[in-house]
Amino acid sequence: MTIKRDIEGQLVGWKNDRNRKPLLLQGARQIGKTWVMKNFGKEYYRYCALFDFDRMPELKDVFKTTKQPQRLLKELSAYSSVPLLPNDTLIVFDEIQECEEALNCLKYFYEDAPEYHVMAAGSLLGVAVRHRSMTVPVGKVRMMHMYPITFAEYLRVADNEVFGFIDNLQEIGHLPTLILNKLLVEYRRYQICGGMPEATVALLSESGMSEVDDILQDILDLYELDFSKYAAPREIPRIRSIWHSLPTQLSKENRKFVYRVVSDGARSKDYEDALLWLKDAGMIYQIQNISKPGIPLSAYSESNYFKVYACDCGLLRRMARVGSDVIMNNNSGYTEFKGAMAENVVLQSLVAIKGMDVPFYWTSGNTAEVEFVIQQNDEIIPIEVKADRNIIGRSLTIYDNKYQPRHRIRFSTNNLQSNGNLLSMPSPMAGWLGRFLAMMP
């Protein structure tokens, strides 16, 4: 089963760019970076040559002897079953964090051999760059972020008819009940598997929920091994403690990150590096609090107040040991964590929108909190997330009265509609937010 990834459109734009630079693909482990590069090479090039520095450590010696692209290509050809041709071959360097010389050589491909199409990626590349003091040739490479499979990408395979209906909507108005119900069922199924490709394929292939859980647990176990392989020894227990605290942090009614939940007597200065490690690894999103919605939002962030979400809702569900039946049947005891999952899935959709930055959140003392606040050009937009049809709450109204935003968003399981400056959308449609915002007056 093949799941079409939306990043393919960005890769086509990169391929056709006159000023194309070598591409460095970033993202968390196990989200399908290698598959995307290989599939793109297969679909859009005559040849694709993959060089994996983890599987073929002898490749490192090639880059230690020269930095000249033509000499490098001559030597690399001995390790390739396909010719390395300008324009016709996609050259892929995988696990490039294992060879700093190869990372540095990307700039020479840009300067001296731009006719060669070069793409690179690596597991925990962000961690390696920061914590091994590796250097990225800034200005000489194109950075592109990749994320787990989004709900929109999942829906295109799970129910292409529903996907097509939503993808072709031209106005804001109630969805047919049948469409909305199907949409919400698939949304609950997506929360079970999340966006890790192997787990997503297992669910869509009807392999069984136990198989999905086993795959997600294997990924979690792999992440644990990464702590030991890539982190400094003194940071390993702190990274692990923060990672394992996520379900507890998000189960609180107030989801503000609290260090004492990580460990009794924990202090921020002792865990800052561990938190940064998880962020660099792409395993978490750190959402900063803002005191007021001003431009730019980053100027009003409060560094000591933030929330932390997982990179993938399926992994978060498995970490919390929430069974698939709980999500599908809406168990009565599934309350606070249900809200956390709702926020996590919406966040995953938002960050994957091209041009969208990681959002902030807003609070007003202990009286109001808006889950996410985003900046789109010169507009600040508050976003409220509700886990179901119950939309009772005063926070978005308080924000509206205080700041009079041009637009405000509410995600829930209610139908699509607009009322004044309020756009109400079913949470599964978060990935289409930009389109429907453009339809608002």
- Taking only the tens place, the pLDDT of each residue in 388-424 is 998 888 999 999 999 999 999 999 999 999 999 999 9
Residue at token pair 């390993």: 236
Looking at residue 131, what is its pLDDT?
Answer: 66
What is the rounded CA–CA span in Å between residue 180 and residue 183? 5
> What is residue 136's predicted lDDT score, i.e. its pLDDT?
83
46: helix, strand or coil: coil
| Tens digits of residue pLDDT in 149-182 | 999 999 999 999 999 999 999 999 999 999 999 9
Alpha-carbon span 411 to 423, nearest angstrom = 9
Burial of 245 (0-12, 13-18, 19+ CB in 10 A): buried
The pLDDT tens digits of the residues spanning 14-46 come to 999 999 999 999 999 999 999 999 999 999 999
**Non-local CB neighbours of 35 within 8 Å, separated by 6+ positions:** 197
pLDDT of 269 > 90? The answer is no
Q: Per-residue pLDDT for 134 more than 80?
A: no
DSSP state of 428: G
- Average of pLDDT values for 77-94? 97
Which residue segments constitute the domains of the chain, with CATH numbers given? 7-145 (3.40.50.300), 151-438 (no CATH)
Amino acid identity of residue 378, one-letter, is D
> Strands 142-145 and 284-290, how do they pair?
unpaired
* pLDDT score, position 132: 64
* pTM of the shown model: 0.94
Q: Is 6 exposed, middle or buried (0-12, 13-18, 19+ CB in 10 A)?
A: middle
pLDDT of 56 above 90: yes
The secondary structure of residue 159, as a DSSP letter, is -
Per cent of the chain over pLDDT 70 is: 99
Q: What is the mean pLDDT of the chain?
A: 94
Q: What is the DSSP string of 84-114?
A: --TTTEEEEEESGGG-HHHHHHHHHHHHH-T
Q: What is the pLDDT of residue 392?
A: 86
Report the DSSP pairing between strands 360-364 and 284-290.
parallel
When comparing pLDDT for 264 and 277, which is higher?
277
Helix (H) or strand (E) holding 431: none
The one-letter amino acid at 67: K
Reduced to 3 states (helix: H, G, I; strand: E, B; else coil), residue 404 is coil
What was the pLDDT predicted at 333?
79
User: Of 95-104, 177-186, 256-265, 326-335, which range is least confident?
Assistant: 326-335
Decide if 1 contacts 205 (C-beta within 8 A): yes
Structure tokens at 195: 């966006």
| Banded pLDDT at 8 (limits 50, 70, 90) | very high
Task: State yes or no: pLDDT of 129 exceeds 90.
Answer: no
pLDDT of residue 290: 95
Q: Centre a 10 Å sphere on the Cβ of residue 410 and count the other Cβ atoms it contains.
A: 21
pLDDT value at position 411? 98
Mean predicted confidence (pLDDT) in 8-18: 97
Structure tokens at 381: 């937009």
**What mean pLDDT is predicted for residues 343-355?**
95
301-310, strands of its sheet edge to edge? 301-310, 284-290, 360-364, 368-376, 379-385, 408-412, 422-426, 417-419
- Give the confidence band of 264 by pLDDT, cuts at 50, 70, 90: confident
Residue 133's pLDDT band, with cuts at 50, 70 and 90, is: low
Q: How many helices (H) and strands (E) does the chain have?
A: 19, 13
**pLDDT exceeds 70 at position 47:** yes
Average pLDDT rounded to a whole number, residues 225-242? 92
